[in-house]
Chains A and B, each alone.
Chain A
Amino acid sequence: MMGKPAWAMISRLCRWLSMVAIFALGILAHSSGLTASVAEYWGDIRYLSIQHLELTAISGAMAIVIGIPLGVLLARGKLGFMGPIIAQIVNLGTTIPTLAILALAMTVLGLGSPPALFGLTVLTILPIMLNTIAGLRSIPPALIEAARGMGMTNGQILMKVELPNAMFVILAGIRTALAINIGTVPLAFLIGGGGLGELIFTGIDLMDTGMLLAGAIPTALLAILVDIAASQVQFWLVPRGINPLR
């Protein structure tokens, strides 16, 4: 187990390295005259980035709202026996190509953002649900016995003991889920869902590198920014007593 300072140093180092890498890429792009052609799309980038983030935010929120309760249901109570079955289904789900899920969603929901949101949500639920189950399962039975023996109701045990103590693992799941989500959003363009995919795929079709990069670079930046934001949430939201980062 690494000490706190080691962890902090590594994460800070990673952040710096990614900054430096982006900066280097920028210089490279500039010297080859690419910045100019990327800058042409500034208006599109802004509009599509917001759309991109909206897709992520909405599908991410839906996935959290569905994934955590689903995980809770499967980790405890009467549905516990379904856990392994669901886990199997989920594993199957992760092996189905993302594009296939989107295509299936399109055949049912038609074109536009609804099937995109549906597909993204399905994809994002999985890691959140799995981590919720893992987090709840890792809680020592003694804690729950102590809680019950002190007169907590089942609801109080869940809200005051189980979820808080599983929070770090659940948030780790959400972080992974969001990273997958934001990287998958470009595919939404293929079923008319919008987002930065529009620049990427059109750029590919037109063999326009500037346009392609105008979609790809912001996508990468968004992924990094969202991950940093999520890690900050994880750092500050989880109490010191159970936060391995603090």
Chain B
Amino acid sequence: MIRLENLSKHFASSIAVDGVSMEVAEGEVCVLLGPSGCGKTTTMKMINRLIEPSSGKVFIDGRDTSSVDVVELRRSIGYVIQQIGLFPNKTIEDNICIVPDLLGKDRKASRRRAAELLEMVNLDPAIFSKRYPKELSGGQQQRVGVIRALAADPPVLLMDEPFGAIDPINREVIQDEFMKLQASLKKTVIFVSHDIDEAVKMASNVAIFRSGKLVQYDTPDNLLAHPADSFVADFVGTDRTLKRLRLISVRDAMTADPPRVRAEDPAELATALMREHDHASIVMVGPRGRARGYVRRDTTEGRAEPISELFEKLPCMINVNDNLRNAVSMMFTNDLSWLPCVDDDGFYKGYITQQGITHLLGATYRDI
């Protein structure tokens, strides 16, 4: 969808971007990541030609952008800048509809779309449409900045540290909102950031820059597991393995289809199952398979009464769609070495252990 070919930018005093080649597939989010001054913004601005490349080419959908009329090109690319850049003289609604208005689209239709977009980022159109930017908080303005770029439904979106100016809590919220938007709109997004956590959270692929050069272009998990060199390793942080936790879902890490017992089963059965699987405890499920409780081996050993008289309540469970970061956090909080995993309806799907997680994270390193 977007292809950079040997793209370079030389300023009088410095080389800002040096021979960058990469490709972003349709519907992907590519995060440009790197320390300050490494050429992220310059690379991005060469895509909508706010900066003309010194050499190299940019293709969007196979078309060489230097052969397209520059105004037309920019109107077909959504653009979000870090300073937000809402026009203070226009209402929120008119700000959102700037590109549709430039394109001469039907006013009513674009105002309706603006209202829809406002709702998608949890701003009530009845309250905000007619307000002016100065009457919004920073986070609200940031949201408007993002949906303004989406108003004309461009296939490509460029975002230069769009959430940089927001406090960490609000940033997480807006990131989540954006990911939800992106899941339904499937734009091809290039996103500048210097926050590794943001990159890991949002990216399909991360491009790491160092003084104008692209040093690694990889999926977030590969980047964290196999940094190309010590610069990348330093940049992603010594806790990079912990960051990978967020990328792996509980479903992928759990032991599926585990042994289980029912309330009416005798304690001997539980003891036998635990001995067979070498477990110290076993989950008790209800008649249809919902996780209800658990029993320990040292409780059942040598007993014969039904499980219903011996079981304990489960202190916590984790959803299979959650990520390992939350799973590990839950284990630490409750001082547990394992967690039962359930689906949205509470059915028992598997279990996850600290040892299993360690093993999984380590697997990729042992492969080398």
Interface residues on A, range: 20 to 34
B133 and A142 form a contact (CB under 8 A): no
Closest to B134 in A: A241
Residue from B72, B84, B88 within 8 A of A151 (CB atoms): B72
| Bound Cα distance from A156 to B50, whole angstroms | 16
Chain A at the B interface: SS class:
helix
Contact A145 B81 (CB under 8 A): yes
Contact residues in B for A156 (Cβ distance below 8 Å): 102
Question: Which residues of chain A come closer than 8 Å to B90, judged between CB atoms?
Answer: 239, 241
Determine which residue in B74, B89, B148 has the highest number of CB atoms from chain A within 10 A of its CB, and name it. Answer: B89
Known contacts A239-B132, A241-B132; is-contact A165 B89 (Cβ 8 Å): yes
- Nearest A residue (CB) for B73: A151
Q: How far is the CA of A38 from the CA of B32 in the complex (A)?
A: 79
Whole-angstrom distance between the alpha carbons of A242 and B86 in the complex? 12
Which of A140, A151, A239 contacts B74 (CB under 8 A)?
A151
- Nearest-CB residue, chain A, relative to B74: A151
Does the CB pair A239–B89 fall under 8 Å?
yes
A148 at the interface (CB under 8 A from B): yes
Interface pair A151/B71, CB less than 8 Å apart: yes
Q: What chain B residues lie within 8 Å of A165 (beta carbons)?
A: 87-89
| Cβ-defined contact, A152 with B89, below 8 A | no
Closest to B132 in A: A241
> Contacts A241-B91, A241-B132; is A148 near B85 (CB within 8 Å)?
no
Contact B83 A149 (CB under 8 A): no
Given contacts A145-B85, A240-B132, contact A152 B102 (CB under 8 A): yes
Answer whether residue A112 sits at the interface, using C-beta atoms and an 8 A cutoff. no
Interface string of B119-162 (1 = CB under 8 A from A): 00000000000001111000000000000100000000010000
Q: Which residue of A lies closest to B82 (CB)?
A: A142
A66 CB, min distance to chain B CBs, angstroms = 24
Q: Which residues of B contact A160 (CB under 8 A)?
A: 87
CB neighbors of B among A143-190 (8 A): 143, 145-153, 156, 160-161, 164-165, 167
- CB-nearest residue of chain B relative to A145? B81
Complex alpha-carbon distance, A241 and B135, angstroms: 8
B50 A149 Cβ-Cβ under 8 A: yes
- CB-CB contacts of A214-246 with B at 8 A, as 1s and 0s? 000000000000000000000000011110000
CA A111 to CA B86, docked complex, whole Å? 53
The answer to whether A148 touches B50 (Cβ under 8 A) is yes
B79 A242 Cβ-Cβ under 8 A: no
Determine the residue in chain B with the shortest Cβ distance to A246. B132
Residues of chain A lying within 8 A (CB to CB) of residue B73: 151
* B102: contacting residue among A149, A151, A239, CB under 8 A: A151
The answer to whether A146 and B89 touch across the interface, beta carbons within 8 angstroms, is no
Given A151-B99, A151-B102, A241-B134; A146-B85 close (CB under 8 Å): yes
B226, CB-defined interface residue at 8 Å = no
Which A residues touch B281, using CB under 8 A? none
Which of A143, A149, A161, A164 touches B48 (beta carbons < 8 Å)? A149
Residue of B nearest to A140 (CB): B83
- Minimum CB distance partner of B149 in chain A: A150
Q: State which residues 48-93 of B face A: CB under 8 Å.
A: 48, 50, 71-76, 79, 81, 83-91
A146: chain B residues at CB < 8 Å are 79, 81, 83-87
Known: A150-B98, A150-B102, A156-B102. A142 touches B85 (CB 8 A): yes
A148 proximity list for chain B (CB < 8 A): 50, 74
A contact residues around B132 at 8 Å (CB) = 239-242
Complex alpha-carbon distance, A165 and B133, angstroms: 13
A145-B50, A146-B79 given; A241·B71 CB < 8 A = no
- Chain A neighbourhood of B133, CB < 8 A: 241
CA A160 to CA B81, docked complex, whole Å:
19
Q: B residues within 8 A CB of A152?
A: 71, 98, 102
User: Distance in Å from the Cβ of B36 to the closest Cβ of chain A?
Assistant: 18
Taking the nearest CB of chain B, how far is it from the CB of A123, in angstroms? 30
Q: How far is the CA of A169 from the CA of B309 in the complex (A)?
A: 82
Given contacts A146-B84, A156-B102, A161-B89, 7 further A-B contacts (CB under 8 A): A146-B79, A146-B87, A149-B48, A151-B76, A161-B87, A165-B87, A242-B88
